[in-house]
Amino acid sequence: MKYLILLEFMDKVTNYLDKGYLIDIIYTDFSKAFDKVSHVKLLAKLKSYGIIGETYEWIKSFLLGRKQRVVLGDVMSNWEPVSSGVPQGSVLGPILFIIFINDLLEMLQFTTLSYADDLKLIGIMSKNTLGTESLQNDLNVLVDWCKEWSTELNLSKCKSMYIGKNREKKEYRITSHLGETTVLSETTCEKDLGVIITNDLKWNKQCVSASARANRDLGQIKSSFTYLSKETIIPLYTALVRPHLEYAVSSWSPHTKSNIKILERVQKRATKLVKTIREKPYEQRLK
């Protein structure tokens, strides 16, 4: 699912850039998103979507009646009822959260891409920055929705990214329920669902990050074995190392020589772990 969202994101951005538009992206972050979902309000939304009967009662039983307390050493607090939050780590938790914010997505004018509590607003602008007010309006709608549904944004993690050359940059603002206005900080590099997105849409940082993770696991393989045969290294490399290099690769598609070289260096190192072929040229080690 993450792969599809990233692929859709890159497809939209590159298509609009090719048509001469500018892109403003607002990355948002819900503060303790899963913990602040009101049980009463979530159950009301479930009913509004037609979830009733035994299914509704089961979910109601799943959410309600939970208690928690704090234990510090030998000291324990009293049990207190839990009135909000969907259980993290459960299969149902993310689904319930998506249902909870579904009406928000329908209220926004511009394209929004959401994965669980990860939400970004994508504004399509003309060269004269026409459209920035609409994106600010979407941001205002998001803030108002949070107030109404007892959630809030983590302002320190809400950022704006500007894609496109020779352009003006519009400041986007969030006004809290206390009346305090915060100007979103600009980011030129953001980790989006595990992939590093930069405002120039180049992939050097993503390639460096992916190769670093791959080399880390390759190093663990090397330190765990005194001898590695070709038959041993192939499944280990395929299962533990290569996924780092290929994660969501359809969305970022490394194609420049420098990017390919960074990733290929990991595989070269892996083939050298097999002593019987270590001295052969790289092309022969791949056979």
Q: Say what percent of the chain tops pLDDT 70.
A: 98
The DSSP-derived string for the chain is -HHHHHHHHHHHHHHHHHTT-EEEEEEEEBTTGGGG-BHHHHHHHHHHTT--HHHHHHHHHHHTT-EE--EETTEEPPPEE--B---TTSSHHHHHHHHHHHHHHHH-SSEEEEETTEEEEEEEE-TT-TTHHHHHHHHHHHHHHHHHTT--B-GGG-EEEEESSS------EEE-TTS-EEEPEE-SEEEETTEEEETT---HHHHHHHHHHHHHHHHHHHHH-S---HHHHHHHIIIIIHHHHHTTHHHH---SHHHHHHHHHHHHHHHTTSGGGTTS-HHHHT-
Profile the chain (287 residues) by mean pLDDT over runs of 10 residues.
85 91 91 88 93 93 90 92 86 89 88 83 78 86 91 89 86 82 92 94 95 96 91 94 94 92 94 90 85
Averaged confidence pLDDT in the chain: 90
